[in-house]
Amino acid sequence: MTRTYVITGAASGIGRATAQILRDRGDTVIGVDLQGVEVSGDLSTAAGRANAAAEATGLAGGTVDAVIACAGLSLPKVVTAAVNYFGVTEFLEAMRPALARSTAPRAAVVSSMASLQPVAPPLVEALLADDEAPALAIAAELAKDPQTGNLIYSSSKQALSRWVRREAPRADWAGAGIPSTPSAPASSRRP
């Protein structure tokens, strides 16, 4: 039985590798990235997220078996918070109706071990409030200094992991039969 997957960040890194494994297995993969895949979409903007989700849903014929959210950045810039948090959470919410039509839906979110590193608590809380403008304003302040700019990545990943833990058991996700889980890849390199 083949499945239909939507993978963000499918043009490079973990997303690209995951897409290739699934394609080699015979599954249908709809990649979402800035370019070079089935859906060109900018997950750093609300319009880009909505358009990408709508296009991916259309290409899937309205039913998606799994969304694997791999898109992410690690730059000490505001765009990192936009893509890593809102680019995942809003995209997943937009894909939820297509997932609900599957007989065995799944959502997987790539977080990071960096979520356990020092963070900027005001940014984490602003992200979890799901209000993009204030969150990105905090990220912009952090980005002014290289020391605090580096906290944007870990803060976005901690907020993302907490979002999954908050949302996964709710009626819209687990209650609708859509399991969701974060994963936190770590480097396999040894010192």
Helices (H), the chain: 13-24, 46-59, 78-81, 87-100, 121-128, 132-143, 146-149, 151-167
| Cα-to-chain-centroid distance, residue 7 | 9
Half-sphere exposure of 145 (CA within 13 A, CB side): 7
Band (181; pLDDT cuts 50, 70, 90) = confident
Report the C-alpha gap between 66 and 1 in whole angstroms: 14
Report the C-alpha gap between 9 and 160 in whole angstroms: 16
* Mean pLDDT for the chain overall: 93
pLDDT tens column, 76-103: 999 999 999 999 999 999 999 999 999 9
Q: Answer whether residue 189 shows pLDDT above 70.
A: no
Q: Give the DSSP H or E segment for 6.
A: strand 4-8
Q: Answer whether residue 108 shows pLDDT above 70.
A: yes
Edge-to-edge order in the sheet of strand 39-40: 39-40, 28-33, 4-8, 66-69, 106-110, 180-183
Report the C-alpha gap between 132 and 159 in whole angstroms: 13
Q: Which two tokens stand for residue 181?
A: 């889980």
Q: Answer whether residue 73 shows pLDDT above 90.
A: yes
Active site residue ranges: 153
Residue 112 contacts residue 171 (beta carbons within 8 Å): no
pTM: 0.93
Question: DSSP of 58-83, one letter per residue?
Answer: HHTTT--SEEEE------SSHHHHII
Among positive and negative, which fits the CA dihedral 68, 58, 34, 157? negative
The mean per-residue pLDDT over the stretch 16-40 comes to: 97
